[in-house]
Chain A
Amino acid sequence: GDSVTQTEGPVTVSESESLIINCTYSATSIAYPNLFWYVRYPGEGLQLLLKVITAGQKGSSRGFEATYNKETTSFHLQKASVQESDSAVYYCALGPSNTNKVVFGTGTRLQVLP
């Protein structure tokens, strides 16, 4: 089946440090999956951070970047310098499946220390 594996949290980094949250995927029912990073800030709903629908392309938003690598089946999330306001739970996801399903990873809780 389709699956997503991401860095197990919690991840704790200090402000202005760099960050990478790993994500690898397996897409058996989707020939050309779209890849997403979603984020849930404390007290808020789940929202899209960035998406990439073409292999080899990079998506970016709010200083975060992720490159769709079909060879390594990876979609790692990176940021050069994190801020305390980046503290949240980050979900890697792929979709859609033949049931219109988006498959999520387990989520990675990020805590940025001031």
Chain B
Amino acid sequence: AQTIHQWPVAEIKAVGSPLSLGCTIKGKSSPNLYWYWQATGGTLQQLFYSITVGQVESVVQLNLSASRPKDDQFILSTEKLLLSHSGFYLCAWSLEAEVFFGKGTRLTVV
């Protein structure tokens, strides 16, 4: 069975500090991977998607970057956090248009 693990579960970070969120998918080779973000009271927005290792496409610009260093790993990062980065981040993978999500990371920027 496929599993998706996100880390950390929650983070409180200062404005201007760096951020790295991670996601690992097990049990599925060469998955399509996604990062989604939801601001408090907002809708889920797709930020990035990746079809293969080393290839990441940006969907929404939020001063964030993503990388896929391994087939089963997807990283979301920034060197300088903004207050507007606060929210809920979800990693996901897809199969035949159905999307499977991790449990998410709640980020609070103070």
Contacts and interface: CB of A to CB of B under 8 A. Distances in A.
B97 A53 contact: yes
Contact of B43 (A44, A45, A95, A107): A107
A104 interface: yes
The size class of the interface chain B forms with chain A is: 20 to 34
Question: At the interface, is chain B mostly helix, strand, loop or mixed?
Answer: strand
Interface string A36-59: 101000001111100101000000
Contact of A34 (B43, B49, B90, B97): B97
B107 to A, nearest CB: 16
Contact of A96 (B42, B45, B90, B94): B94
Interface stretch (B63-71, B76-84, B98-106): B98-106
Interface of A: 34, 36, 38, 44-48, 51, 53, 91, 93, 95-96, 99-102, 104-107
18 contacts: A34-B97, A38-B101, A44-B103, A45-B90, A45-B101, A45-B103, A46-B101, A47-B101, A48-B98, A48-B99, A51-B98, A95-B97, A100-B34, A101-B46, A101-B59, A104-B45, A106-B42, A107-B43
